């Protein structure tokens, strides 16, 4: 099992460009999450999907959209990138709602110039 | 919304010294989790605490959950260079959707 796979690992964008961050998990987990991590800010939840077919906003959703394509895949889209979106993005998954640990991908380091 | 404070933000110790990080919530928690992130890595789950006053140990790591279920601590005895990283608490206040709110983390550096 690969666990949670994120692509790409690194990306540089110019202001105004768009891109989609991909995330896939092969553990048959129900819930999937997107976090961003900035120095001194910890991990902040952008969007999450409690189950296939549902998505909800987290703490910092502005400037992002998500798609839960199927049970395995949860993508994060930046329609018009801004320098404030320079960050490390982590995708995570969870077996079921309830008491379970998050499984994280290796992250995508995004720079917007 | 749920507030979580984690202190200290940074801690530098000599190898062999002890280390403690604290996590405090503004609300009563259903459970709390702890994660470790090595430099350049991703967060990795360490442990989950559920019961009031619970204490769990993993080798040199001791985790405590407060009696009121509003605070928690992680204590490392006799730190080693392998302990370097950022330690995060993650809170779940309950509800039908499972959302974890992370503290800002404590970055631990260890001088050999």
* Cα gap B80→B29, rounded to integer Å: 31
Q: Can you list the positions of beta strands (E) in chain B?
A: 4-7, 10-14, 19-25, 31-37, 44-49, 55-58, 61-65, 71-76, 85-92, 101-102, 106-111
- Per the CB < 8 A criterion, the answer to whether A49 and A75 are in contact is no
Residue-wise pLDDT for B65-110, tens only, equals: 999 999 999 999 999 999 999 999 998 755 555 678 899 999 999 9
Residue-wise pLDDT for B24-67, tens only, equals: 998 898 889 999 999 999 999 999 999 999 999 999 999 999 99
- Average pLDDT along chain A: 93
Residue-wise pLDDT for A34-89, tens only, equals: 999 998 888 999 999 988 889 999 989 999 999 998 999 999 999 999 999 999 99
Q: Which two tokens stand for residue A11?
A: 């990306």
Q: Which residue of A has its CA nearest to B89?
A: A42
User: Best residue in B6, B69, B99 to probe A by mutation, most A CBs within 10 Å?
Assistant: B99
Taking CB atoms and an 8 Å limit, are B43 and A43 in contact across chains? yes
Q: Find the chain B residues whose C-beta atoms sit closer than 8 A to any C-beta of A.
A: 1, 6, 9, 30-31, 33, 35, 41-45, 48, 50, 88, 90, 92, 96-105
Taking CB atoms and an 8 Å limit, are B104 and A56 in contact across chains? no
Which of the four pLDDT bands, split at 50, 70 and 90, describes residue B1?
low
Which of A97, A100, A104 lies closest to B42 in CB terms?
A104
């Amino acid at each position: 099992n690969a666990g949670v796979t994120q692509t790409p690992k690194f990306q540089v964008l110019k202001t105004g460009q768009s891109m989609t961050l991909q995330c896939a998990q092969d553990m048959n987990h129900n819930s999937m999450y997107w976090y961003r991590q900035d120095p001194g800010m910890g991990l902040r939840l952008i969007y999450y999907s409690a189950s296939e077919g549902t998505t909800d906003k987290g703490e910092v959703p502005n400037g992002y959209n998500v798609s839960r394509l199927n049970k395995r895949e949860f993508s994060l889209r930046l329609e018009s990138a801004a320098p404030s979106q320079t960050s490390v993005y982590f995708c995570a998954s969870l077996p079921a709602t309830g008491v379970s640990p998050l499984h994280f991908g290796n992250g995508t380091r995004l720079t917007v110039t | 919304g749920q507030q979580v404070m984690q202190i200290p933000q940074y801690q530098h110790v000599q190898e062999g010294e002890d280390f403690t990080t604290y996590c405090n919530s503004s609300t009563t928690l259903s459970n709390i989790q702890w994660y470790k992130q090595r430099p350049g890595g991703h967060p990795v789950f360490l442990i989950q605490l559920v019961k009031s006053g619970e204490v769990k140990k993993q080798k040199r790591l001791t985790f405590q959950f407060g009696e009121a279920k509003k605070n928690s601590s992680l204590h490392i005895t006799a730190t080693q260079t392998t302990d370097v990283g950022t330690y995060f608490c993650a809170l779940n206040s309950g509800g039908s959707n499972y959302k974890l709110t992370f503290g800002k983390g404590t970055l631990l550096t260890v001088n050999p």
